[in-house]
Amino acid sequence: GYKFFFFTLSPRLEFGETDFVALCDTLRVSDIVRANAWKTYEKVSSADGTLVGYSEKKKDMWGICIFIAAVDLDEMTFTFTELLKSIGMSVCTCFRLLREMDVNMDTISTKVDSNVSRLNKKYDVLSALYHKFERTSAELSFPLVLKTSWITFLLAKGKVLQMEDDLVISFQLLLCVLDYFIKLSPPAMLKEPYKSHVSAMSINGSTRAPRRGQNRSTRTSKQTETDTKVIEVLCKEYGCNLDEVKNVYFTSFIPFLNSVGIVTSNGLPEVEDLSRQYEELYLKNKDIDARLFLDNDETLQRNHIECTSLGAWAAMNTIQQLMMILNSASDKPSDNLISYFNNCTVNPKENILARVENLGNIFKEKFAEAVGQGCAEIGSQRYKLGVRLYYRLMESMLKSEEERLSVHNFSKLLNNNIFHTSLLACAVEVVMATYGSKLNTETDLSFPWILNVLDLKAFDFYKVIESFIKAEPSLTREMIKHLERCEHRIMESLAWQSDSSLFDLIKQSKEREGQVDQPEPTCTLNFPLQHNHTAADLYLSPVRSPKKKGSTASLNPTPIIDAQPVLAPQTQKPQKSTSLSLFYKKVYRLAYLRLNTLCLRLLFDHPELEHLIWTLFQHTLQNEYELMKDRHLDQIMMCSMYGICKVKNVDLRFKIIVTAYKELTNTNQETFKRVLIREGQYDSIIVFYNLVFMQKLKTNILQYASNRPPTLSPIPHIPRSPYKFSNSPLRVPAGNNIYISPLKSPYKFSEGMLSPTKMTPRSRILVSIGESFGTSEKFQKINQMVGSSDRQLKRSAEVSTAPKPLKRLRFDIEGQDEADGSKHLPGESKFQQKLAEMSKYCLL
């Protein structure tokens, strides 16, 4: 039995720990999973104050540790729902506990983290869908119909969709299921407007259940082609695209009905048969039994304290806004675009149309591979929306260039394949992100998926982003922020992949005669970043406009003019690349912003070190850029911080650095756990620092300890984001919800934008400075809120410390980092600055 295992596992086990063995028996786990789970539990329970409030809840911790061990060892002998049932825990509590363990103990591997993210996304989708199902199923008042329709949907979702966390397609499939069951229901059971539509269909005899032997496919197709009133009502109620839902019905739902061989009883599918088929899927996936939503099961209850609200359905507005932008657009070039094409020396029309068609076929194929073959047409529809946006943006860009340059011939730009592929990719990415933004989580189709599909390099894609945003003023805040995040990801790592054209540009910049080895002079760092460049400047640089008699060459390239190039003598030095120069300027600013954030948190007592760290950081990006190849910007940042602190005898260890780093936005633990050491070999950031970074920069780092340290690099001028959100409220950081926002114009739905004013919760106070709004009580309440926030800040500041170091780090290697014992450094908040700004508007 387990006696041998019990005593071998730990001689210090108390008698009560036999409950751990019993839990393992219940979940049918192997001995190796038991052993690993117990080791994890011992590590967690031995840490002081690791998980507040859970030290006494041993069974909860055992269950979590068993789950971690089973996932790491690929030995899942139980489903996620079985685990939750066995320890009496809700899914939200489980996810929270797993996150806490990762932050405090670093016990969660990337494999477990990925598994948990998948489960979390699936739960969020299912929870949101069931919430909508409950609302709509009020039309299906008969309990059996409600149960049967939900299980039918779960089975269809599992059979049809390969990527089950696609909320939009899942919801469209749910509408198909509801349409199917509403039509099967007796009219007397329904409410208006469904009752009238189904009654009319019953008179025509189109809703009768099929007799055995009758061809279901023929009957369903005929029925759906003629009776679309129900699905039209459903689509209108939830703001869904009718054509897309019809497509899901014909290409996915009808084939599903034909494939599962549903047996009907009294006109309805037999629920036991559906439930049995669904259970096979659930046991195979070993995840969440979504049938339990019907029972309001406690394991699936959403705790509002522990689980944040999805906001999934409010985001449906983003799709509606995108559709409003594109409703008037065409998926063919407009007459204005045709005129631009005709004005070119080489007419690009045929190549453009062929490219759009060829890339569309590739996109449709890759989309179907990712989501499911039954969803291929959905991919086509989303691609067509992207094409509409692509032509719309192309026309806008050309019109802007025409006004700027007073020229009509854009042959060079319009015959540039990379420009077109990048612009099309950006348009499609906006569509994909809009449809996939419901959960604000990454999916299989998230960026940079589109780059792989269209075989486009990240650096080339980056060139079009800013011009894209400038050319389309109707883009929503969510769309703009997504593109800005894509730009940041490119600057952080994607552009630095070994096959990137970026490295060729850098090498070319080195070859310029008489130029220092630097892609962008440091003397320009403290200048404001200019945003007067265009896509043409970036895609066709370096090019110099031809000289005219009596004039000199333009300092700013105008490469889109189709003039014959001037034959330069061989001694002429290569031109400076506009795209490379701008890229480095943006990288420097992003890098410094990251560094500044980390220094404020970790080096508050040593502000003088920030400039030194920045100088080393900037020197590495400029002169040792090969270190960035297949690596991440933040890896160089953390190594620079550690190196300067080391040489300056400031006790700041990697454990502290990575703990603070994990709390920054948009970070991933793989950034410091998996760093390229040499080709094909990866290890922790500590190993990278010792074996690569330090070896390359040792001489430079040691100079900072000498009497003649390197000249300090200028601090970059940090402007506000060029992608302005004029209607975005600015939150004042504190315990209360206080926002400052520009005065908003009256809400106009015709403009296609939703005013944030309309979305202000009623419980909050909306004050427009400079306008009369009634009594002074509102200002008095603001003063009270600000005052209480100030007191709260002061109390928290008294005990504020730098982040507590991780107790154990998987990547720690004996002897490669200092022993524990560094002092805690106080953090810093900028609330006082915000408070000063707020005080201008508060009446005392």
Residue 457 lies in a domain: yes
User: What is the chain's percent helix, strand, coil content, to nearest 5?
Assistant: 60, 0, 40
In a domain, 337, yes or no: yes
611 and 584 assigned to the same domain: yes
In a domain, 512, yes or no: no
Report, as an integer, the average pLDDT of 354-361: 96
Q: pLDDT tens for residues 517-572?
A: 455 555 555 555 555 667 666 776 553 333 333 333 232 333 333 333 333 334 44
d(CA 269, CA 781): 59
Residues 451 and 318 grouped into a single domain: yes
Cβ–Cβ < 8 Å for 320, 239: yes
Q: Give the three-class secondary structure for 529.
A: coil
Give a yes or no: residue 814 inside a domain: no
**In the predicted model, what is the mean pLDDT of residues 167-189?**
86
- The domain tally of the chain equals 4
Same domain? 444 vs 390:
yes
Average pLDDT along the chain: 75
pLDDT at 599: 94
342 inside domain: yes
| Residue 280 included in any domain | yes
- Asked if 727 contacts 755 with a C-beta cutoff of 8 angstroms, the reply is yes
Pick the last residue of a domain from 270, 300, 330.
300
**Residue whose pair of structure tokens reads 């047409």 in the numeric block:** 377
- 205-209, 258-262, 316-320, 339-343: range with lowest mean pLDDT: 205-209
Q: Locate 491 and state its tokens.
A: 């600057």
Residue among 397, 423, 406, 416 at smallest CA distance from 533: 397
Is there a single domain that holds both residue 322 and residue 432?
Answer: yes
How many beta carbons lie within 10 A of that of residue 403, not counting itself? 8
Task: Say how far apart CA 302 and CA 744 lie, in whole Å.
Answer: 35
Of 617 and 371, the one with more pLDDT: 617
Q: What are phi and psi of 423, to 5 degrees?
A: -65, -40
Q: CA 183 from chain center: how many Å?
A: 39
Q: Are residues 453 and 487 in the same domain?
A: yes
| Residue matched to tokens 């001689």 | 11
Per-residue pLDDT reduced to its tens digit, 781-813:
556 655 554 444 444 444 444 555 544 444 444
As a whole number, mean pLDDT of residues 357-384 equals: 88
Give the length of the chain. 844
131 and 88 belong to one structural domain: no
Give the long-range contacts of residues 506-515, CB within 8 A, separation 24 or more. Answer: 506/580, 506/625, 508/574, 508/577, 509/576, 509/577, 509/580, 511/574, 512/573, 512/574, 512/576, 513/573, 513/574, 514/573, 515/573
250-308 pLDDT, tens digit each: 888 988 888 887 665 556 788 888 999 999 999 999 999 999 999 999 999 876 544 44
Residues 280 and 143 occupy one common structural domain: yes
Q: What pLDDT band is residue 721 in, cutting at 50, 70 and 90?
A: low
Does residue 606 share a domain with residue 689?
Answer: yes
**Strand, coil or helix: what is 245?**
helix
User: 173: exposed, middle or buried (C-beta count within 10 Å: 0-12, 13-18, 19+)?
Assistant: buried
Segment 569-592, tens digit of pLDDT = 344 455 567 788 889 999 999 999
Of 596-610, 766-780, 828-842, the range with the lowest mean pLDDT is: 828-842
Using CA of residue 643, residue 648, residue 654, residue 658, what is the dihedral sign?
A: negative
pLDDT, tens digit (0-9, with 9 covering 90-100), for 811-838: 444 334 543 333 333 343 444 444 344 4
Shared domain check, 153 and 49 = no
**Whether pLDDT at 85 is above 90:** yes
Highest mean pLDDT among 512-516, 675-679, 793-797: 675-679
For residue 284, which amino acid is it? K
Which of 75, 108, 141 is where one domain is finished?
108
Give yes or no for residue 129 having a pLDDT over 50.
Answer: yes
Closest CA to 166 of 475, 432, 447: 432
- The pLDDT assigned to 238 comes to 83
**In the predicted model, is pLDDT for residue 319 greater than 50?**
yes
Whether residue 746 lies inside any domain: the answer is no
CATH number, domain containing residue 58: 1.10.472.10
Same domain, 473 and 612: no
Indicate whether 49 pLDDT > 70: no
The pTM assigned to this predicted structure is: 0.69
- CA-to-CA distance for 356 and 525, rounded, in angstroms? 40
At 54 the three-state DSSP class reads coil
Residue 473: the pLDDT is 86
- 608 within some domain: yes
Residues 286 and 265 in one domain: yes
Domain boundary among 431, 464, 492: 492
In this predicted structure, what is the pLDDT of residue 79?
95
Residues 34 and 160 in one domain: no
Domain that holds residue 616: 578-704
Task: Provide the percentage of residues in the chain whose pLDDT is more than 90.
Answer: 37
